[in-house]
Structure 1
């Protein structure tokens, strides 16, 4: 687990980044065991799982979520259990919300890895589809694939072209643009089933009007907001303790949160 100094460095680096860059920085913190260049090629659901694990390690199990009802405009606040949520996603592609929420479901239209020989791809990152005489192998998309496809005139076609490993019809190899619509639909279904945590959607019943509001749970954005608030609090602590005791930032950050809080209470009593 990254220490306070490392987390502050991640926060500082992310201040000038767009949301995608911040998500990558958070993923690097969550997966220091992997080369940074490999992270955007992981299946989206794997990244989301990594970020949930980081969030739990940094800030605990309880997640407070606030949404506005799309029907009546009422603010809705409820809790999610991050551990249970992540476990449900990993287990069967759905997640149970906390108090005050309705239900959750997941769907995927995710990203993937750069084109590689099939033998080099882990089996769990491939889906195989047989439909109408077609035999197709497709790799689970990663963030890099989604980002590149979004820039194309035909995002769906671009994503298929990037992630297609092989396609055969009647024993003949065929290109991505030859895939008929029913085969593309089956690929989308297979990807969603294989990577259910790639897109998490909350379906929350409003306690005022009873109507359901659907909203995406963007764990990267949620976690960044928490990290930003934490970092600003820590820097305030550093300022106060440095002013009171003359300690350096590394010395203050080396203190446990409990000892740091105790010294701050002593400063307030003076």
Structure 2
């Protein structure tokens, strides 16, 4: 089981990092001691996100909740998703796929965590083409691939690694439309870790002020007992 001190160390390391780098730190945490960074970078996005979902379930429970806006009417909607339902979409993708379209044949591999790290600074308008170029191994320049063939390759990669494009569906209570939105589990989990870390450090500050204990001593106390001590000191 991951301890509070280890979680705080991951949080601190990830504060200045990009989203994909934070997801890499979380993935290392999910894999546990002895992980190899190169192996993590080579992991298909769907498999990585499956590991992050399992980590999230262990840290914060089965249910994911949040809000989204209906694209049709602007209604603010709440969603509630079970991680088990999302994990059903996670499979081990094949190393490569072959797409034949309009007389052309292209072999591609599923996107990896390393691709996302490498493309973190690429403008959104160019990210799709840059990712496609990496996935086809430089055999073709993205500009040499017709849009319909590029669309076919992207669709085939999504089918090969469905866990790499996790989505949730919410019916709109305002207009009845079906709203579908992507789930960035790395970003979602990081936001939860960030909220937890800041609350935990506040607890450490308050208990250190009240009792003179050090951080390590306070983090070693269970959350239940910590809350009780905060109540006794008048800070809960």
Give the TM-score taking structure 1 as reference length. 0.72
Question: Where in structure 2 are there 5+ consecutive unaligned residues?
Answer: none
Question: Cα 1:128–1:254, aligned 2, differ >3 Å: closer, same or farther?
Answer: same
Residue 13 of structure 1: aligned partner: 13
Structure 1 match to 2:42: 41
Q: Matched residues in 1 for 2:71 and 2:133: separation? A: 36
Aligned counterparts, 1:1-270, within 5 A: 1-32=1-32, 33-86=34-87, 88-90=88-90, 124-129=94-99, 137-146=107-116, 148=118, 151=122, 158-164=130-136, 175-177=139-141, 184-268=150-234
> Could you say what the CA RMSD is over the residues aligned between the two structures, in angstroms?
3.0
Match of 1:124, SS state, is coil
The C-alpha deviation readout for 1:161-206, integer Å capped at 9, x for no partner, is 433369xxxxxxxx43577777655533432221001112333221
Once structures 1 and 2 are overlaid, which stretch shifts more, 25-34 or 149-158? 149-158
Q: Specify the structure having the higher radius of gyration (Cα).
A: 1
Deviations 1:229-261 (A, max 9, x none): 111111111112112221110111111222222
Residues 179, 16 of structure 1: CA spacing in aligned structure 2 closer, same or farther, 3 A cutoff?
Answer: closer
Matches of 2:175 and 2:132 in 1, distance apart?
Answer: 41
1:160–1:176 contact (8 Å) kept in structure 2: no
Deviations 1:84-142 (A, max 9, x none): 222x2126xxxxxxxxxxxxxxxxxxxxxxxxxxxxxx983222446677665432221
Alpha-carbon offset, residue 157 of structure 1 = 5.5
Contact 1:238 1:249 in 2 (8 A): yes
Deviation at 1:8, TM superposition (A): 0.6
How many residues align? The count is 230
Q: Could you say if the C-alpha distance between residues 77 and 60 of structure 1 is closer, same or farther in structure 2, counting changes exceeding 3 Å? A: same
More strand by share: 1
Q: CA deviation at 1:5?
A: 0.5
Secondary structure of the equivalent of 2:94?
A: helix
Decide whether aligned partners of structure 1 residues 77 and 180 sit closer, same or farther in structure 2, where only a CA change above 3 A counts. closer
- Structure 2 distance, partners of 1:255, 1:183, is 57
Q: Determine the C-alpha separation between the residues in 1 that align with 2:102 and 2:69.
A: 45
- Aligned-residue offset at 1:37: 3.0
The runs of 5 or more residues in structure 1 that have no matched partner are 92-121, 167-174
State how far apart, in whole Å, the 2-side matches of 1:165 and 1:70 are. Answer: 36
Contact 2:99–2:105 (CA under 8 A) maintained in structure 1: yes
